[in-house]
A and B are shown apart, each in its own frame.
Chain A
Amino acid sequence: MATSLQYITSVSGSNISDLSITNCFTANYNVYQVILNEIEFSSSDMYFRFINGSGVVSSSNYDDAVHLQRSYGDFAENKTVDGTSLGSIGYDDNQNGGGATVIYVYKPFTSNHTFCTWQNAGQSGSGTPVRRGVGVLKVEESHTGINFVGGDTIEKVSATVYGVK
């Protein structure tokens, strides 16, 4: 099957508590690729949530499973049921390059649960952490956007949304 990646929008910010990309999910695509090519913190993790017609969905309806791979130590299975966000999708502690993440979001605009997968690579003071994650928002409603929130102030973030056809 031929596929095409189609640019939808880009958003960036610095020294913010969170970053929203609104109205990027529509009926035009079933699958979206969201790329964060810059994640910078003084020392924190990045998480994300979805946006519906009323705003950011912050209810305890997120489940995820993240495989944390470390170049500097043991791997870890980080799992959450009924969380308020998905992730971590990246960590940084002021290293050169921060982190970067590719997220696939499946059928967010339809009135079903919204599923997603992600992969991340970055750099911490200890070495290279890599994350592979899967997640779901267990609310059967249409989601029109995505919101990135840090465990601390986000020094820099840059995100691009593509539709996959």
Chain B
Amino acid sequence: MATGSLIKIGTATASGSPSTLKITGIDTTYNVYMLVVKNLIPSSDDTIGWRVTKGGSIQSDSEYDNVRQDMPSAAGFQDNEEENATGVTNATVESTGDGFFATFYLFNFPNASEYSYGTFEHVTWVTTPQLFGGAGGFSHTVASASDGLSFYFTGGATFSSGEIVLYGLNK
């Protein structure tokens, strides 16, 4: 009999105005992981970003490639890309809004001999102000295992609220 294959691993909730919001728990149990991101609100208007963790430690080396198409509701669509960055950056999130939402698929994270990479779809209300969403992908070009993802605001804002939930895709 078929059983549910979307296995909830854990939740990280912003509490006490943290400067990062991190979730770990990725290991070789599953090949593919899904991460749902909800209501990441900065203490002041700021750009959301994320980095992988290895052994629980946030990696801030210059090994991130990312690419995405962003779709503002009141401006032309944008082709955005970056290579050899110190993190993956995305929208400038309004501090008085509902925050940043996204769904990620994470591939190869537990594989010690390959790069970690993922796809994402995101939506938020940006400071322009307007609706701003899109889709893209990223990679961390270091061939070693990653065990999680950590979010931050590039300008130093802290998290007023937010929650990230990690799932494994079971066979």
Binding site for B on A (CB under 8 A): 4-8, 10, 28, 35, 37, 67, 69-75, 95-98, 100, 102, 119-123, 127-130, 132, 158, 160, 162-163
Q: Is there an interface contact between A69 and B115, defined as CB atoms closer than 8 Å?
A: no
Main secondary structure of the interface of A (DSSP, over half): strand
Whether A6 touches B3, Cβ cut-off 8 Å, given contacts A71-B83, A97-B114, A121-B138, is: yes
Q: Is there an interface contact between A5 and B5, defined as CB atoms closer than 8 Å?
A: yes
Shortest distance between the CB of A66 and any CB in chain B (Å): 12
Q: Is there an interface contact between B32 and A100, defined as CB atoms closer than 8 Å?
A: yes
Shortest distance between the CB of A11 and any CB in chain B (Å): 11
Shortest distance between the CB of A12 and any CB in chain B (Å): 10
- Measured in the bound complex, the distance between the Cα atoms of B119 and A120 in whole Å is 7
Whether A71 touches B67, Cβ cut-off 8 Å, given contacts A10-B171, A130-B119, is: yes
- Measured in the bound complex, the distance between the Cα atoms of B107 and A97 in whole Å is 9
Q: Is there an interface contact between B66 and A71, defined as CB atoms closer than 8 Å?
A: yes
B131 sits at the interface (CB 8 A): no
Whether A69 touches B67, Cβ cut-off 8 Å, given contacts A7-B3, A132-B135, A160-B169, is: yes
Chain B residues, CB < 8 A from A119: 105, 119, 121, 135, 137
Binding site for A on B (CB under 8 A): 2-6, 31-32, 65-69, 79, 81-83, 105, 107-108, 111, 113-119, 121, 135-139, 141, 143, 169-171
- Measured in the bound complex, the distance between the Cα atoms of B66 and A162 in whole Å is 28
Q: Is there an interface contact between B135 and A96, defined as CB atoms closer than 8 Å?
A: no
Shortest distance between the CB of B136 and any CB in chain A (Å): 6
Q: Is there an interface contact between B67 and A37, defined as CB atoms closer than 8 Å?
A: no
- Measured in the bound complex, the distance between the Cα atoms of B137 and A67 in whole Å is 12
Q: Is there an interface contact between A74 and B79, defined as CB atoms closer than 8 Å?
A: yes
Q: Is there an interface contact between A35 and B66, defined as CB atoms closer than 8 Å?
A: no
Q: Is there an interface contact between B108 and A97, defined as CB atoms closer than 8 Å?
A: yes
Most interface-central of B3, B107, B113, B136 (chain A CB within 10 A): B107
Chain A residues, CB < 8 A from B4: 4-6
Chain B: CB-nearest residue to A33: B169
Q: Is there an interface contact between A128 and B108, defined as CB atoms closer than 8 Å?
A: no
- Measured in the bound complex, the distance between the Cα atoms of B115 and A98 in whole Å is 9
Q: Is there an interface contact between B68 and A69, defined as CB atoms closer than 8 Å?
A: yes
- Measured in the bound complex, the distance between the Cα atoms of B67 and A2 in whole Å is 32
Shortest distance between the CB of B23 and any CB in chain A (Å): 19
Chain A: CB-nearest residue to B116: A97
> Lowest 8 CB-CB distances: which A-B pairs, in order?
A121-B137, A130-B137, A100-B107, A97-B114, A128-B65, A6-B2, A97-B115, A71-B65
Q: Is there an interface contact between A69 and B169, defined as CB atoms closer than 8 Å?
A: no
- Measured in the bound complex, the distance between the Cα atoms of B68 and A23 in whole Å is 35
Selected A-B contacts with CB under 8 Å, 21 pairs: A5-B169, A7-B170, A10-B171, A69-B68, A69-B79, A70-B81, A71-B66, A71-B81, A97-B115, A100-B105, A100-B107, A100-B117, A121-B117, A122-B139, A127-B65, A128-B66, A128-B117, A128-B139, A130-B67, A130-B137, A163-B2
